[in-house]
Amino acid sequence: MSIFTISPDLLNGIEEDEQVYFTDILFIFTQKNSKYKVAKDKNGEILDIYRGIEKNADTIKVWLEFMSFKPSKFEKVNIELSDIACEETKFFHLCANTKNSKEIIMYSKQNIKKFECHNDIVNYNNISVKVFDRDEAKSLFFESITIQNNYNNSQVANNGSTITDSNNK
């Protein structure tokens, strides 16, 4: 099970004509058989930050509602964030303390203000955090979907094509 930290930068950055990122990234987590989860802190401060985002508020509300269904698609990380003032630092702190999965999704790496990002990695307190932008995350989720068709001794018509003059018996 992969656990991702979703930065508010992603939720704030998606423009009206980019709503596909909600379906292709965020709603991947809500699917019943999804192998992905979203990290949250033990007190739910991260969820409060998500709820406080005004841009895309209606879509975020629906996403959070779907995420609340059982089994939960949130993974609770046993950390306290209330002592951290900087929002960006809260999310990197959460990500760095998520066991076996230190991956954060942002709208753009260009929006990282407090930390240096080199080769898609932010060093947070000597812990490497992998950063995905919106397009990299979308590609990551869709790479894992593989459709394989094997046809042996057969003629197959795909995508509306037809077979004529077949000699199959």
Q: Is the pLDDT confidence value at 145 over 80? A: no
What pLDDT score was predicted for residue 153?
A: 61
- In whole angstroms, what is the distance from residue 126 CA to residue 39 CA? 20
Q: In what order do the strands lie in the sheet with 36-41?
A: 74-77, 36-41, 2-6, 103-105, 127-132, 121-124, 117-118
pLDDT one-digit tens code per residue, 37-52: 999 999 999 999 999 9
The structure's pTM equals 0.83
Cβ atoms 164, 155 nearer than 8 A:
no
In this structure, what token pair is assigned to residue 123? 């060093």
- Average pLDDT taken over every residue of the chain: 90
What pLDDT score was predicted for residue 1?
A: 80
pLDDT one-digit tens code per residue, 124-139: 999 999 999 999 999 9
pLDDT one-digit tens code per residue, 91-130: 999 999 999 899 999 999 999 999 999 999 999 999 999 9
